[in-house]
Chains A and B, each alone.
Chain A
């Protein structure tokens, strides 16, 4: 893999602006809520700008790892601070930047314990960015855990609907995942005999025997897979999404679940390609069960957020199916789907969050006729729903299409099942939209005001991203290909 060192530490700058934001917020007095929000907006804006810049500054003809920064950290253990971006990492960095910035703007109306909320969000996002850019197993694990533990307080303090139960369940599930990841990482590092946590060095073919790869892969797959919502380890995810406050749902479904899938890709698949091929069929099976299960459980939900929660399980199943095909198209589709689904759920949760803040209900039966009282708000909801069911010209369409094409080649039965499930999901999501946005107008919601321009900004950003990548999917696919083609062709 070609490695190009950075002239300027852009990647560290992303982390630095998160940490700086965190520190500034800690030292701002509690009652200056506006100052805290502005600092959050500026710092998250900087991360977004840098991630957009990096996405377009990446040299696609050269490929490989770029913007690399590497410093010895703990030489006696072989740990280095090693950041780099490749065709898999950059879409995720871009996604994290977009979702983080829009999530901060979405929470502009927050009034309770503002300081702590934004401080925790910054801590969480530092971990997210770090995870997407790190190329050192030690740091990958650190970032992975840093991004998990603020979730407990974020959900338990600011959440709703059985929030303490959901927060505890989520934390224990995810930390159980990391309890599998850590032994697997140490196992690989020790067995390699290289005495290093450097991912690129460990990727060298022939480092691990087939048995070691199969063994470590399944641990890593389950460990990271819990976070990616792989069936049957997904049960934390719908309850967690429902209980979390809007911004946290956005970051959580939009980015955090991607960390799980990204961990499977970056650590498990990169280090144990033979284990990947060995377990691919199991991965595909679990993914398809997840897709079908998510759709059918989603059908019977009466709570708007539960509907999105289960559709997330189903959409993350598509990512898993893409990863399981062991093909270039499969990888392309999986990474594209991670990106598209991230933006799409962020929009979904953001618009549902707005509706919930105004109407104080998430129950589909109680809502209705919103398109007349809140035309703009329901507009955002409808766009998100259409993206979710994969309407052409929106980002998800291309991602799902690529995954399905590749899965038809490798696993025809699973492919057909997944497509059928998706058709059903279109039916139920459209029904939800119809119940909430159309139908007779409810009187108690008649006086509610619509999304103002200021509050609409984050939603508009999300909609435009969905449309841009729906119209020009090549921008994204060409980027991912710079990583997926060399990786697949390098497989033994």
Chain B
């Protein structure tokens, strides 16, 4: 029988490989080219997202020192599925053919379904995993139908060809229906209304590290592909815009209102993800270079802010349990740096300057305002105020509440402290000196048009 590798060794190998992945992606940012008969495109847009995805994987692996939410015998599968999922998402952001899009999307989804199942304590994982799977499967069936309709009506499967044909036929009902159906598969990934029902249950039931991955990397990939698909329409269709506006408003309002009453931190973050999906849609539906670049920028900010929240969650729930908001009580004394990181991340999510979250929202709102969507921006701002309430409740728990019994100081390794410090720095620096990232995302958005 083969000797099993120890969990620590596994962790170390995964960490090294993930960091190599980040390095390679960073080195390849400026590459361009086509592969596999033009179905796979390497351009700045895809490379920027690959950097984010590899960073997402690396960061999630960083959290796996105590992987208590998953049986020890499943650890190799966990790392394997995580890597496969990242690979699939990297393929997804580079896909420029309907079939590769579908294959990549399904590959990433199936790895995620399995990852959700892996949660220790069978029932929870299976329950949520099944829900995730069923909604996901129906969404992808709808999407496949959309593909078929689109191909049937315009006889093109390469996105480049679609880009040429689509603006001329965008007002034909069949094309609109095809596009809407096509988007459902991605809306499921991003947890946009009406495909958001899985989010709270899956977030709650999956292991903390898996939830982290779903909330960060998976969202980034979804933003990328929705941006690419919507960019195909060339900004022509009023119907598409109306639908996106409606979905965006409903999504952010539902997400924020539902988040207000949550007790479980992961459920709260799930609903806040839903709300953020609504904000991102505002940028995308502006259908301009500024809009797409704001979506790219926002993807990066979501990655950083959400990850920081989960970093704190994973470290506080050190035995892999779920965390109620009130269990954060006394965090400011138990670990000042984690409390600080949590506060910055939450203020970032609430869009308070000078954090990267504010700059992202400003870019999105400016893009929408340039298209004249004043009411939409106003509704979004009202939502931001609602969201502030529940973010403040979490801050209150970390800074004001005292735990019922005396809790010891959290043992946080130095590397995690450094990571938290870097994240705080990154979130503030992204808010104060956003120039470079804005330029990069603008150039990346250019390649879509």
Contact = CB atoms under 8 A, between A and B. Distances in A.
A75 interface: yes
Contacts of A488: none
- Chain B CB within 10 Å, residue with most, of A116, A146, A175: A175
A235 interface: no
Given A74-B435, A145-B352, A187 B374 contact: yes
B353 A175 contact: no
A142 B395 contact: no
B366 A186 contact: yes
Is the interface on chain A under 10, 10 to 19, 20 to 34, or 35 or more residues?
20 to 34
A421 B275 CA distance: 47
B399 interface: yes
B143 interface: no
Interface string B385-419: 10011001001100110000000000000000000
A239 to B, nearest CB: 16
B392 A179 contact: no
B400 A186 contact: no
B347 A149 contact: yes
A172 B374 contact: no
Interface in A136-153: 138, 141-142, 145-146, 149, 152-153
A141 B353 contact: yes
A187 B352 CA distance: 19
Interface string A126-165: 0000000000001001100110010011001100000010
Contacts of A77: 363, 366, 438
B395 A190 contact: no
Contacts of A157: 399-400
B11 to A, nearest CB: 32
A5 interface: no
B382 A179 contact: yes
A41 interface: no
A468 B414 CA distance: 55
A180 B435 contact: no
Nearest to A113: B332
A171 interface: yes
Contacts, number: 76
A168 interface: yes
A183 interface: yes
Given A74-B434, A142-B353, A156 B388 contact: no
A153 B399 contact: yes
Nearest to A149: B352
B365 A152 contact: no
Interface in B209-248: none
A76 interface: yes
A264 B353 CA distance: 20
Nearest to A76: B438
B134 interface: no
Nearest to B438: A76
B377 interface: yes
B442 to A, nearest CB: 7
A171 B249 CA distance: 24
B13 interface: no
A142 B351 CA distance: 11
A73 interface: yes
Contact of A152 (B385, B392, B435, B439): B392
Contacts of A73: 435
Contacts of B399: 153, 156-157
A190 B392 CA distance: 32
A180 B442 CA distance: 28
A172 B374 CA distance: 22
Contacts of A247: none
B338 interface: no
A235 to B, nearest CB: 16
Interface of B: 332, 347, 352-354, 358, 362-363, 365-366, 369-370, 374, 377-378, 381-382, 384-385, 388-389, 392, 395-396, 399-400, 434-435, 438-439, 442
Of all A-B residue pairs in the complex, the 3 with the closest CB atoms, nearest first, are: A179-B381, A142-B353, A190-B369
Given A153-B400, A172-B388, 16 more contacts: A138-B362, A142-B353, A142-B358, A145-B352, A146-B354, A156-B400, A164-B396, A172-B385, A175-B384, A176-B382, A179-B384, A179-B385, A182-B362, A182-B365, A186-B369, A190-B366
10 contacts: A76-B442, A77-B363, A141-B353, A156-B399, A168-B389, A171-B392, A179-B384, A182-B365, A183-B365, A183-B377
